[in-house]
């Protein structure tokens, strides 16, 4: 074995030995245990990709390992500080230019304003509320309203004017004009609110505009992706949380009717806030998972099947012609129209740096490990069909690969491009 390969193997063994200590070390510097796990994976990748450093690593593997971890953590913090400054600059630039689409703060403002208006309308007398909405939203003429209700035209005009004043007073109270700092920081958004005020004060919009405002106030869209070896945790506008595995992609699309996430590649874990009016839906490869409030993971495996694992609560899984329900500790794999149920102790174990294989084709297991490996992994058709079960810590991927010939009738071959191929013996 070449000296550089021996040194790398020694460092990976030290990584395994000191893994828990390493997590604590990085977490003390970043202040975040989840980030520490991701940065530990970066450390493992640095070791796997390293060139020989002479005898430095072999002399004291633990010290060398913690030096790499320290450098990785410091680079991460520097990038974070740079990004914070960059975003602050972007915010200043955006403040000086009109927004093209509502941001999350705009959406929150619209929701609050709509809630104020609806509460005010509910507090009006039935005749005054109906008169105001009939004229302002439905466009009914005041004379026609007076004839329909059997009251004078002056009464209709007075009801509309009084309702408009109540709404305007409620909105002014909500905006709190006596807070100058907030008014100055929100000046751009107050222009957006003018359109909302116009719906009620001027009454030029119809019912369609009202429903459009309600829908757009709850609209949120974004796309997220991760690179090999890195995970991402992101909060969503409704208070739900999304954890994205390495080499994964999602699209998030929230509307007034539903909360939709499309998993395009990889795996994701969701901690969903309950909202009976807007179900939370995850779509992946023709499989639809629907919940109200729960914690669960969805994984597109190497064979392009979809694995759903529930940590708490209940989910419904639809595959077009089949429907099933899962509760805590249950998993379901959907592939080519077939569903297979299993019990699982640790749903989405990849969040903790572990992978679990349950009677999985070796080709699919290699594709799963590939999300973290810098080396291209493949299997011949015969080897890829072999089944494998067990658990694997991501940091031990190299040792796991080397051990395959001891548990399966395969051999490991290094290709000319540096990739690794697993072939049947």
CA end-to-end span of the chain, whole Å?
23
Q: Do 227 and 327 share a domain, yes or no? A: yes
Residue 107 has pLDDT above 60, yes or no: no
Residue 44 has, within 13 A of its CA and on its CB side, a CA count of: 30
Is residue 263 located within the same domain as residue 375? no
Domain count, the chain: 4
Residues 121 and 192 in one domain: yes
pTM of the model: 0.52
| Predicted pLDDT at 87 | 47
Are residues 262 and 328 located together in one domain of the fold? yes
Domain boundary pick from 36, 68, 95: 95
Which of 161, 186, 217 finishes a domain?
217
What does the alpha-carbon distance between residue 81 and residue 384 come to, in Å, rounded to a whole number? 45
From residue 262, alpha-carbon distances to 89, 253, 391 in Å are 31, 8, 28
| Residue 34 pLDDT greater than 90, yes or no | no
Residue 62, judged by CB atoms within 10 A of its CB (0-12, 13-18, 19+), counts as: middle
User: How far apart (Å, rounded) are the C-alpha atoms in residues 302 and 15?
Assistant: 27
DSSP structural state of residue 231: -
Residues with Cβ within 8 Å of residue 125, at least 6 apart in sequence:
none
Q: Which of 42-51, 136-145, 194-203, 387-396 has the highest mean predicted lDDT (pLDDT)? A: 387-396
Q: Does one domain contain both 125 and 209? A: yes
Domain of residue 334, CATH code: 2.60.120.1440
Task: Kindly state the helix (H) or strand (E) to which residue 43 belongs, with its residue range.
Answer: helix 33-49
- Ranking 13-22, 104-113, 202-211 by mean pLDDT, the lowest is 202-211
Pair 238, 296 in one domain: yes
What are the CA-CA distances from residue 188 to residues 92, 182, 194, 221, 405 (Å)?
Answer: 12, 11, 11, 21, 65
Q: Beta partners for 420?
A: 377, 414
Asked whether residue 242 falls in the same domain as residue 339, the answer is: yes
* Residue position matching structure tokens 């379901």: 332
Residue 104 scores a pLDDT above 60: no
Looking up tokens 């419904």 gives 316
> The tokens of 322 are what?
């089949």
CATH number at residue 65: 1.10.1740
User: In 150-258, which ranges are continuous DSSP H helix?
Assistant: 153-175, 180-185, 187-201, 207-217
Least confident of 105-114, 345-354, 403-412, 416-425: 105-114
Write down the pLDDT at residue 259.
92
How far apart (Å, rounded) are the C-alpha atoms in residues 37 and 10? 21
- Residues 248, 192 share a domain: no
> Pairing state of beta strands 259-265 and 249-254?
antiparallel
Per-residue pLDDT tens digits for 53-70: 544 555 778 888 888 888
List the domain range (segments joined by +) for residue 390: 353-424
Residues 356, 331: Cα–Cα separation, whole Å: 12
Hey, which bits of 202-286 come out as E strands?
220-225, 232-235, 241-244, 249-254, 259-265, 267-271, 280-284
Segment among 71-80, 165-174, 381-390 with least mean pLDDT: 71-80
Indicate whether 344 and 357 sit together in one domain.
Answer: no
- The two three-digit tokens of residue 224, written as one number: 């997220």
pLDDT reading at 204 higher than 60:
no
Are 111 and 199 in the same domain?
A: yes
Q: Which of 349, 384, 404 is the last residue of a domain?
A: 349
CATH code of 118's domain: 1.10.10.10
């Amino acid at each position: 074995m070449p000296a550089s390969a021996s040194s790398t193997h020694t460092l990976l063994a030290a990584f395994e030995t000191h893994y828990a200590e390493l997590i604590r070390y990085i977490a003390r510097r970043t202040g975040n245990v989840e980030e520490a796990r991701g940065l530990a994976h970066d450390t493992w990748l640095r070791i796997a990709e390293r060139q020989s450093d002479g005898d430095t690593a072999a002399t004291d593997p633990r010290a060398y390992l913690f030096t790499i971890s320290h450098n990785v953590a410091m680079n991460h913090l520097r990038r974070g500080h740079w990004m914070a400054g960059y975003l602050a600059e972007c915010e200043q630039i955006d403040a000086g230019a009109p927004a093209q689409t509502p941001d999350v703060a705009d959406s929150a403002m619209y929701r609050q304003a709509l809630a104020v208006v609806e509460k005010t309308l509910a507090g009006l007398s039935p005749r005054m509320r109906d008169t105001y909405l009939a004229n302002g939203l439905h466009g009914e003429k005041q004379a026609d309203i007076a004839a329909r209700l059997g009251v004078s035209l002056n009464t209709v005009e007075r009801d509309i004017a009084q309702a408009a004043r109540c709404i305007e007073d409620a909105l002014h109270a909500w905006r709190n004009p006596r807070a100058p700092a907030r008014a100055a920081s929100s000046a751009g958004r107050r222009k957006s609110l003018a359109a909302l005020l116009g719906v009620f004060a001027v009454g030029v919009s119809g019912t369609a505009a009202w429903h459009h405002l309600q829908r757009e106030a709850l609209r949120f869209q974004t796309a997220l992706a991760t690179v090999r070896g890195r995970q991402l945790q992101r909060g969503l506008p409704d208070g739900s949380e999304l954890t994205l595995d390495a080499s994964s992609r999602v699209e998030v699309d929230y509307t007034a009717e539903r909360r939709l996430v499309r998993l395009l590649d990889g795996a994701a874990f969701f901690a969903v806030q309950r909202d009976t009016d807007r179900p939370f839906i995850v779509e992946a490869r023709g499989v639809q998972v629907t919940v109200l409030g729960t914690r669960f993971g969805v994984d597109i495996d190497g064979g392009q099947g979809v694995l759903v694992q529930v940590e708490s609560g209940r989910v419904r899984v639809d595959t077009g012609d089949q429907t099933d329900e899962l509760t805590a500790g249950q998993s379901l794999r959907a592939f080519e129209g077939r569903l297979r149920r299993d019990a699982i102790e640790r749903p989405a174990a990849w969040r903790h740096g572990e992978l679990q294989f349950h009677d999985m084709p070796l080709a699919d297991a290699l594709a799963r490990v590939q999300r973290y490996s810098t080396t291209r992994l493949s299997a011949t058709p015969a080897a890829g069909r072999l089944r494998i079960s067990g658990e694997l810590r991501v940091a031990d991927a190299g040792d796991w690969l080397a051990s395959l010939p001891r548990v399966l009738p395969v051999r490991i071959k290094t290709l000319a491009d540096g990739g690794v191929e697993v072939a049947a013996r």
